[in-house]
Amino acid sequence: MTTKTVTPLNRKKDGTTAAVDFAPWPEWGTRLERIFGQAMEKYQAGSRGADVLFTTEHVTFLASLGSTPQELYDFVEDWCELGEPSFEVALRITEVRAEYFFFEQYLERSPDVSTPASIPSGGATLGGFVWLPRIIEKARAKLRGEIPADMMFGCKNDRAFLKKVGIAPAQFLRVVWNAGKNDEEILEYVKISAEYKED
């Protein structure tokens, strides 16, 4: 059986070229699943905190995807405490962030972090949809790698909203990515999805 060699992708910006170890699923996805499983076992054994559940090697690997230990910890914590989201959901969200990190940010992590004041409250509405303004800004922060440590894209309330309108978390991230700053385009997508959602 021949083992496939993954060639690092190259990204160019301002005339420079950088070799990037950005392997497609299943290469990095398998590793992420293993890290998720190990963290889940530690959590269930009583360990708490991203600094406890993940090693320095894990931190470096997550950084290569534009992610952080806290972001993965939030998924592990919710899975252990609430039974959702599944690893598959966490994987797809991480995948979209990694693609944005690669294609839009050229592997240069944003130095900024969103503040609570920059994220609308849960009671804010857009087009009659409560929570939509908040999740749009959370999605943008997630894509840019600017979501604060005490905030989670794909939290319990996010999941409830997205389930209500029939959109998967990773799918919503892609919609926000494609729409850029156009909230009305996002709203239109949400309206159509909610209208045709299967109960």
Q: How far apart are CA 6 and CA 199, in angstroms?
A: 42
Asked if residues 73 and 39 have their Cβ atoms less than 8 Å apart, the reply is: yes
- Per-residue pLDDT 10s for the chain (199 aa) are 333 343 444 555 555 554 444 555 557 899 999 999 999 999 999 999 999 999 999 999 999 999 999 999 999 999 999 999 999 999 999 999 999 999 999 999 999 999 989 999 999 999 999 999 999 999 999 999 999 999 999 999 999 999 999 999 999 999 999 999 999 999 999 999 999 876 6
Distances (CA, A) of 152 to 1, 6, 15, 101: 42, 32, 36, 18
Beta-carbon contacts of 160 under 8 Å, excluding residues fewer than 6 positions away, are: none
Q: Which of 103, 39, 104, 105 is nearest to 74 (CA)?
A: 39
Instruction: Kindly list the domain boundaries of the chain, sorted by start residue.
Output: 21-109, 110-199
